[in-house]
Structure 1
Amino acid sequence: MKAFSVLSIYVAIVFLTSHTDAFTRDDFPEDFLFGAATSAYQWEGAADVDGRTPSVWDGFTPIADNKDKGYIACDGYHKYKEDVKLMKKLGLEAFRFSISWSRLIPNGRGPINPKGLQFYKNLIKELLTHGIEPHVTLYHYDLPQALEDEYGGWLNRKIIEDFTAFADVCFREFGDDVKLWITINEANVFAIGAYSQGFLPPGRCSTTKYVKCSTGNSSTEPYIAAHNILLAHASASNLYRLKYKSKQRGSIGFSIYAYGFFPYTNSKEDEIATQRTTDFFSGWLLKPLVFGDYPDSMKRIVGTRLPVFSEEESEQVKGSSDFLGIIHYTTMYVRKSTTTTSSILPRDHEFFTDMGAETIPIGNQSIPWGFESVLDYLKQSYDNPPIYILENGLATNHSSTLQDTERVEYIQSSIGAMLNAIRNGSDTRGYFLWSMIDLYELVAGYKLSFGLYYVNFSDPGLERSPKLSASWYSGFLNGTVVVAPQDITHPQSHFSGSSSM
């Protein structure tokens, strides 16, 4: 998904070059985890099977009027044993997946669906039998529609109690076998996409800059939703620590999407805009988790539209994550916005106008120095927290071409950048490639894919076929692939530039 508008850039750049030594799997710490990832709605399918009720995704039409749905997806619900065998063949050490709330608890609260419960027990058992560690995300955008209809989901503080009860069921039923938990996936993109831009369910917004929404308030709702997300995470984390951690000995974390951000020019204005962008996009959720409150820049700019933590809430949220789950795909240049605040009507405020900066994607390839900079930023700014890379990968057009050389190049340069960061002191402990197989991609449907395995969505049997990237990743994990030394270019400054929409 692209949360930013794309500009065409014409700019002169001075580059500095650094060097990455050759490396293998053995260059990483012994307990470092390499895995791959999926999510429930994108992988399971079986949308109306065995007691699952609708989630907010089932009735939602994503951006660009995409009519594709995840009703069947990869049919992981029925083909999980086949997929676990592929994971074993790859040599995966861990597998990240999410729990479908409406499959496990169809009404959002109350009785557990026994068939849904048994599915996840069977999946976890199958993974462990094949020596693969399960890494579970509780919430990956798929709120039960019943709770959205009843009280507005994440915009209502009732969600805190219901999410905590859902988490309690998961901890109780699966926690003896699961040692790594993520409460809420990619919380910043979720709050922005669902409540400011409207391209994620429930599709709320009040501006027409990105998509046309039927309801919502882009100037307040993303901040309300994010506040409730933080409180729900803290509540579930506190429950786990009080009730389960001493026996189950697992860890619980929180996930954000992290871009690498760099000034577009060497001007003071662009440097300030870059810091403000970092505060809004990453500090928005990380500052409360680590220090107990929102960034000062957000409090100043958003003002009374930004919720306020009580002293008790601040203490609950602060320190509520044992680790951070980081999702990273690409790097952005940042420059000061050309839109002045005085020209924005109150109804036109949304997250990116508050941020007051324009972001410019740097191509579609891996930017190793951008990835490395994210890990260094987290080390320097947030007391070097334990980190798991929960998603990293390259999208290509979905086709039967199995020679995905671009993806191989992306993966190896990303892993090299991560290794550099670890050698420089980052406490990064795991890497999950997105994705294990081609999935239903939430915004792009079946048009784009990230998978190591190609899925023929036209075939009733949804046949899986290994791509070149599967062979490469398998060779890297079993030690037969040595990544050659690489020169990495870093931008130093921009002399001049112009852009056009």
Structure 2
Amino acid sequence: MADHSNFDVAADQYHKYKANVKLMHEMGLDAYRFSIAWPRLIPDGRGEINPKGLQYYNNLINELLSYGIQPHVTLYHFDLPLALEEEYNGLLSTKFIDDFTAYADVCFREFGDRVKNWITLNEPNIEPLGAYDAGTFPPERCSYPFGSANCTAGNSTIEPYIVTHNLLLGHASVVTLYREKYQAEQGGKIGITILAMWFKSATENPEDIAAARRIVDFHIGWLMDPLVFGDYPTVMRKIVGSRLPVFTDEDSRRIKGSYDFIGLNHYATISVQADTIQLENQLRDYMHDVAVKIPAPFSGSLDKALLQKYTDDFFPATPWGLSELLDHVKEYYGNPLTLIHENGDPEVVDPTTTAMVYEDDFRINYLEQYLEALQLSIRNGSNTQGYFVWSLMDTWEVMAGYTNRFGLFGVDFSDEERPRILNNVIVTNIKLPDAEDAAIYFNLVYKRFLSLDPLSLNVTNL
């Protein structure tokens, strides 16, 4: 962690939720995406419910609805209860599936009368890589010669694939529960969120073109193919072989079609070249199975490119990549109802200073370009029906701590009161199209005008 920080307090949403919701209302927001922390609600992973956690989420949901803001709720965002990790190695065990389903049952029962948009998992194509290949996310598992030198246990060659498999089975189990027990009465929708960077060939070389297609299958198809077709991509089956778990016929049946919508977290497009010499190695992890490299001038390890939300410091803004991503989802996966669950650009700050400088014209330009790309995709037939900015306010970022500030509102983390600071760009207004109107409108409202006209922006914060 660049700034050696933790997220014990972060932006202090727990104590400041009323003030935060009021800010959302003043901005004219109509939706807010957040996650329920499993350990906060059920500290031991199963069994007794924490009444303070239950009350907090009820308070937050009710406060949002009192202002006409619809909650979009993620059930699992990289926060497995420690007790389950200690009992059976957490996500490596199929025991996770039943415990996750029981936890989701509590959430649907307690909150489903008011929450109409559920997300089972956030980025299940990333946590397995960070936690079980690179060893940089908890529980920091990896194996030599891959990953972090700090790992004391793990197997980078197989564990990421096992974990993703169990996450998909857990997702399917939760969706089945919701559809069979709650959906008819509660009238909500349920889906999943995946990280969806886009990849382009760095050259016209056929091997590089094939490499770009290969990493799209490994990165996006790893989840989307089972969700849409019931099995992993053919190229993954071929390259990973026996290290890739197999779906039973029943597994495939339950996973296929287990979504009402697909959420995409998209930040950048990465140019790649073929690195097929990696496939000659008998000992490979996910990063070597993909067999691609990032060329100059943006040379860097692929694991960092996937595990961090890189910005103009590493990859320039490439809004056309969002259009190509949505075209791919439309053409290859049958144009499912799609929501952009995360999109944004941070200010990268020096961890040794507490100076607060919010001159974020770069963010204005970024959002404008990506919204224009989204508008074009919708006009071309993409079934995208929602857009969320990451994020409402600065928060603690995985891998970056407080050094990457994505917030439309800044937060002074050096102050115990965590004051909110109005950035140059405060909101981007986006009205998504209905059947008659395939246009997106956006307004940029600046601090110097303090003009908070009624708007319709969706935002995300943990």
TM range (shorter): 0.7 to 0.9
C-alpha distance in structure 2 between counterparts of 1:447 and 1:137, whole Å = 25
What is the percent sequence identity of the aligned residues?
A: 49
Partner of 1:352: 287
Match of 1:228 among 161, 166, 187: 166
How much does 1:397 deviate? Answer: 2.0
The partner residue of 2:418 within 462, 467, 488 is 462
Runs of 5+ in structure 1 lacking a partner? 1-61, 484-501
Q: Where does residue 269 of structure 1 map in the other structure?
A: 207
**Kept after mapping to 1: 8 A contact 2:278/2:289:** no
Find the counterpart in structure 1 of residue 373 from structure 2.
Answer: 417
Counterpart Cα distance in 1 of 2:31 and 2:430: 16
What residue in structure 2 maps to residue 258 of structure 1? 196
How many angstroms apart in 2 are the aligned matches of 1:160 and 1:463?
Answer: 40
Shift of 1:208: 4.7
Q: Which residue of 2 aligns with 1:308?
A: 246
1:376 aligns with 2:327: yes
Whole-angstrom CA distance in 2 between matches of 1:91 and 1:381: 35
Alignment partner, residue 21 of structure 1: none
Q: Which residue of 1 aligns with 2:443?
A: 481
- Residues of 1 paired with 2:275 and 2:391: CA distance? 34
Map of 1:208-227 to 2, 5 A cutoff?
208-212=145-149, 213-227=151-165
Partner of 1:495: none
Q: Deviations for 1:46-80, whole angstroms, at most 9, x for unmatched residues?
A: xxxxxxxxxxxxxxxx5x5x521000111110010
For 1:333, give the aligned amino acid: S
Give the conservation status (yes or no) of the 8 Å contact 1:290–1:319: yes
> CA shift at 1:401, angstroms?
1.6
Secondary structure of 2:232's aligned partner: coil
Find the counterpart in structure 2 of residue 321 from structure 1: 259
Secondary structure of the structure 2 residue equivalent to 1:293: coil
CA-atom RMSD, angstroms? 1.9
Alignment check: 8 A CA contact 2:133 2:146 kept: no
Aligned AA (1:192): L
What is the number of residues matched between the two proteins? 416
The equivalent of 2:139 in structure 1 is 202
Match of 2:18 in 1: 81
- Give the distance between the partners of 1:318 and 1:403, measured in 2 at CA: 46
CA contact (8 A) 2:203 2:273 kept: yes
Tell me how far apart the structure 2 counterparts of residues 480 and 301 of structure 1 sit (CA, whole Å). 44
Q: Pick closer, same or farther for the CA change 1:327–1:462 going to 2, 3 Å.
A: same
The alignment partner of 2:277 has SS state of coil
Structure 1 segments of 4 or more deviating over 3 A?
Answer: 207-210, 359-365, 474-480
The verdict on how the C-alpha distance between 1:358 and 1:118 changes in structure 2, with shifts beyond 3 A counting, is same
Q: Distance in 2 between matches of 1:91 and 1:365?
A: 30
Report the residue type matching 1:408 in the other structure: I
Q: Structure 2 CA distance, aligned partners of 1:359 and 1:309?
A: 32
Preserved contact between residue 393 and residue 433 of structure 1 (Cα < 8 Å): yes
Change (3 A) 1:316 1:123: same
In 1, Cα distance between the equivalents of 2:430 and 2:100? Answer: 40
Contact 1:94 1:133 survives alignment (8 Å): yes
Q: Is the CA contact (8 Å cut-off) linking 1:365 and 1:410 kept in structure 2?
A: no
Instruction: Give the one of 160, 164, 180 matched to 2:101.
Output: 164
Report the alpha carbon displacement of residue 476 of structure 1 after superposing the two structures with TM: 8.6
Could you say if the C-alpha distance between residues 377 and 475 of structure 1 is closer, same or farther in structure 2, counting changes exceeding 3 Å?
closer
Give SS of 1:183's match: strand
- Taking the TM superposition and a 5 Å limit, the aligned residue runs for 1:14-33 are none
Closer/same/farther in 2, CA of residues 217 and 210 from structure 1, 3 Å limit = closer
TM-score (norm 2): 0.87
User: How far apart are the structure 1 equivalents of 2:425 and 2:431?
Assistant: 10
On the 8 A contact 1:207/1:350 being kept in 2, the answer is no
**Cα distance, 1:473 vs. partner?**
2.2
- Secondary structure of the residue aligned to 1:188 is coil
Q: Which stretch of structure 1 is more off in the superposition, 140-149 or 333-342?
A: 333-342
Contact 1:293–1:314 at 8 Å: present in 2 too?
Answer: yes
CA shift digits 1:297-321 (9 cap, x unpaired): 1001100000000001000100001
1:64-100: per-residue Cα shift (whole Å, max 9, x none)? 5x52100011111001001111111111111000001
TM-score by length of 1: 0.80
Instruction: Select which of 180, 183, 189 maps to 1:245.
Output: 183
Q: CA deviation at 1:211?
A: 2.0
Q: How far apart, in 1, do the equivalents of 2:442 and 2:39 lie?
A: 42
Checking the alignment, whether the CA contact within 8 Å between 1:476 and 1:482 is kept in structure 2 is no
Contact 2:101 2:170 in 1 (8 A): yes
- Comparing 359-368 and 473-482, the one that deviates more: 473-482
Query: Amino acid of the residue matched to residue 162 of structure 1?
Result: D
Per-residue Cα deviation, 1:195-219 (whole angstroms, up to 9, x for no partner): 1111211111114554222211110
Q: Does 1:129 align with 2:66?
A: yes
Are the counterparts in 1 of residues 270 and 315 from structure 2 also a CA contact under 8 Å? no
Task: Find the counterpart in structure 2 of residue 388 from structure 1.
Answer: 339
Which is worse superposed, 362-371 or 129-138? 362-371
Q: Identify which of 32, 55, 72 aligns with 2:9.
A: 72
